[in-house]
Structure 1
């Protein structure tokens, strides 16, 4: 997932996760006795006879299909083709008649389409540059920068050793490119749930200009790189910002036997996570524009030999200038860790969802078969590997270690990522309960 995000540059994935969640929840909420859409759709709550799973599924599918079509016509076309081929005739309307009349809302697809359209309007107004119009009038390209953000360092020279350097990337098959910033206009984007006080939390930058501190941070990354084993590698592969959140949601759905409405309500956590990524996380990442380990290791040791992980080999001794982190490096400044923010929010959300219980019962676990690594397929892990978290504390600790073990973050950044996002869920929880009153104990 990190490789995909890095490869796409200023990417739709970040915004789309929020949009999918908003549109999806809004599409199904009216098919419940007291749930409320996240956005005002201007549609009456659906009658009791319409509140069935099939209608919720149709509304949800229509919302996502329309959102795909508006934001990414290529993806929309592919999604439409899949729907057309997979669904028996008459079970889903690809071309519903949605004229805004009272009777049109009896068609679930029309409810879903309205949810998608209102979500699109909100995301555009929030500053996401869905259509590229904020960048230019002609030859527009979606999601492109409109701030003119320019890194201090070039991809070829780390003149400023504390500052972010766009990296040369490769897919390992001959394609090579240079990173562009993930979401350079993030400070201009409005949040949906998160208030300005949480969005603007101040963070103190680490003493990067202190040579001793700089070396300590770099040396920890190198040491853990050299120590990588099956378990550490699989943990590092798992805990980037995604897909562990979506994986965890599906694991919880299976364990807790959630209905569709529960799953879509739980999915609103994605909106809070994206709110924090484009506010407190990316505001600070852009403010400090801090160096990544991939650049710092090469800068500090250059042609000197280090002992560290070598792809496809394991531990080896070679010049530091040739070092690569085990996982991909996001195309943005290093401090604070966005991934650890994701972990923190997810686990505080689960705790709130469980009425304050921070234990994971059953434990949330991951198992990788022998040779099933995405980074080194058929080679690692050398045996079936399982790890788990039985509490929020354990889950967050795994996430923090993973980002250092994978070589994507320094230890100071993962601590700052947790600090930046701790307590935010509690501050928005009343708004969430208002949308899904069952969380407060209200029943139909």
Structure 2
């Protein structure tokens, strides 16, 4: 039996959640962003705001200039997470196979239950109505026999349909998906579009109709032998081939743990200020590793450098002598990596990642340091933070002007709770 996969996408999710919470804004253009920062980014804009020229990722000041009547609402990330989880519960009344793709998109495998609700299309319409009646949020649903086709049905058709539902079947690909420009294929951005156009491939169908050996040959001529894996991915995507199942839940085995922070580069010109942020990132990474019962042996540091005119950066890693999740051991490696590769330009973004994860139930002891005691101390601090908040205990360096930990304590994913 061919699978029946849905991808449900909530329209302008953050803005829709705010309009549902504020009925007085029903007929007004609404955007989600920080109204106190004119150079801040618009995270979401409702359809009324978009019709007046307001776009996601535009500056708040620019949006207000285009639409003076725009209502800008400060984001509430905790609220959006709660609404997203509630919508997941709605989906689980239709099937037990629900896979969150992002905070506002989720896959559903309704192969076994669609007939009960009157078919795939009727199921999609019922889900739409259920979500809107329960949350006030309108959703668009793509239907396909694979996850990749359901995703492209949503992005290219359901979002542009008044009804908000569209089905892509294998039998109709040549008259639907294959007629679209190649840049509308999933995971094809501007750079890849230029490669395809130079290869004479203008539409998705131009890729799908080629035999794979010929497509791989063209990819090699354009991008080199290392492009074979990409060739296989794009050829299968164009044909809607995707054997991956809908995996219930959002937890998968951890391969790495990392944190990053965008910075106001004018404030981070000297090493002392940069080290404050690096240490704060290490503290978060190590705390998360201990929470998951793991430790890592490969430490990576990435930085974006700019002075407003020149832009550069680096991403480097080193392997530790032994796996660890102790803050001071990871911090020493991070500092060594950064000082070795930093060019001296102001820093606009930093990230720290630890990989090569292993179970922390077995720990290597040393002659000159009581590592077991150090772990017990850090885990005690972790429990205090979990109970009273991440700012309950902080390093003194975080109280400096360069510190960002206090600000991050009030945020989820870089945005206010």
TM-score range, shorter chain: under 0.3
- Higher percent of residues as helix: 1
TM-score, normalised by the number of residues in structure 1: 0.26
Give the structure with higher Rg (CA). 2
TM-score, normalised by the number of residues in structure 2: 0.28
